Amino acid sequence: MDTSKSSELLRRAREILAKRAAMAEEEGAESGFTLIELMVVLLIMAILLAIAIPTFLGVKGGAQDRAAQSNLTNALMSAKAIYATNSSYLTGAGTMASSLNAAEPALSFVTGSVAGLGGNQISVNVPITGQIILVASSPNNGGTCWAVSDWDGSNASNVVGGLSNAGTWYAEWKVGASGCSAATAALPTGMTGANWSQKYPTAAPSLTGN
């Protein structure tokens, strides 16, 4: 729809310019454009920009989200390798973050917030030995936190995030006061199993972090 509108506006602009050039040639003079003609051309250019800018911003925001998700996928692969070696996720977020930094040097793993820091930073939390939560940030939509949680089903009474089934789950929420952090206290209040899915959500975030 936007492409057809842009093509129509460009065609009209070319017609105005061509008509004016033909008139000038017939008159044998190099007369300038009238004020009305200039205003019409400027109006067409403004409409084209109004169409193009939101499209560009949408593409840029989507790319930022995909970059955060890609970083989380790589981080999770490294975390699962550590789990396979130790039969559990290493106790303590700091210990796990250090091991992940050694295993995946292309990313930077921290225990605090990553919102606003940009780059390839991932927030890490190991609330129980059988669960890991990884969170990355994207500036899209005013700031979005992307999260992945992997839980082996053990210590069910202590599982974090409202999950009721073992496995790998994905979620997103808008940045809150605590930024994008995997820390238990920073997760959105009232987060339940319904807020997690088996792939990255595509709808706008329904929760806001604490």
Helical H segments across 87-171, by residue range: 93-103
Q: How far is the C-alpha of 42 from the C-alpha of 23, rounded, in Å?
A: 20
For residue 142, being part of any structural domain is answered with yes
Q: What is the pLDDT of residue 101?
A: 95
Residues 9 and 90 in one domain: no
Average pLDDT score over residue span 99-114: 93
Q: What is the pLDDT of residue 40?
A: 81
Residue 118: pLDDT over 70: no
Residues 138 and 116 in one domain: yes
Residue 11: pLDDT over 60: yes
HEC string for 21-77: HHHHHHHCCCCCCCHHHHHHHHHHHHHHHHHHHHHHHHHHHHHHHHHHHHHHHHHHH
Q: Summarize pLDDT for 121-164 with one digit per residue, the tens.
A: 999 999 998 999 999 998 887 789 999 999 999 988 899 999 98
Residues 86 and 125 in one domain: yes
Domain that holds residue 132: 71-195
Residues 10 and 79 in one domain: no
For residue 66, being part of any structural domain is answered with no
Residues 8 and 109 in one domain: no
CA distances in angstroms from 148 to 40, 81, 114, 162, listed in the order given: 52, 16, 15, 13
Q: Summarize pLDDT for 26-72 with one digit per residue, the tens.
A: 555 555 667 787 788 888 887 877 776 666 555 555 788 888 999 99
Q: How far is the C-alpha of 84 from the C-alpha of 93, rounded, in Å?
A: 17
For residue 202, being part of any structural domain is answered with no
130 in Cβ contact with 89 (< 8 Å) = yes
Q: Which helix (H) or strand (E) holds 130?
A: none
Q: Residue 156, CB half-sphere, CA atoms under 13 Å: how many?
A: 5
Residue 16: pLDDT over 80: no
For residue 107, being part of any structural domain is answered with yes
For residue 157, being part of any structural domain is answered with yes
Identify the band that residue 116 occupies on the pLDDT scale cut at 50, 70 and 90. Answer: low
pTM: 0.72
Which is higher by pLDDT, 19 or 188? 188
Last residue of a domain, one of 58, 86, 104: 58
Residues 53 and 77 in one domain: no
CA nearest to 184, candidates 166, 210, 206, 165 = 210
CA distances in angstroms from 116 to 41, 58, 96, listed in the order given: 41, 19, 23
For residue 64, being part of any structural domain is answered with no
Place of tokens 């210590």: 155
Residues 53 and 75 in one domain: no
Q: How many domains does the chain have?
A: 2
For residue 65, being part of any structural domain is answered with no
Residue 182: pLDDT over 90: yes
Residues 30 and 111 in one domain: no
Last residue of a domain, one of 29, 58, 87: 58
Residues 20 and 95 in one domain: no
Residues 96 and 171 in one domain: yes
Place of tokens 């008509």: 19
Q: What is the pLDDT of residue 52?
A: 62
Q: What is the pLDDT of residue 34?
A: 77
Q: Summarize pLDDT for 60-96 with one digit per residue, the tens.
A: 557 888 889 999 999 999 999 999 999 899 988 899 9
Average pLDDT score over residue span 170-199: 91
How long, in residues, is the chain? 210
**CA 101 to the chain's CA centroid:** 23
Residues 37 and 118 in one domain: no
For residue 180, being part of any structural domain is answered with yes
Q: What is the pLDDT of residue 73?
A: 94
Residues 144 and 119 in one domain: yes
171 contact partners, CB below 8 Å, separation of at least 6: 146, 147, 148, 149, 161, 191, 195, 196, 197, 201
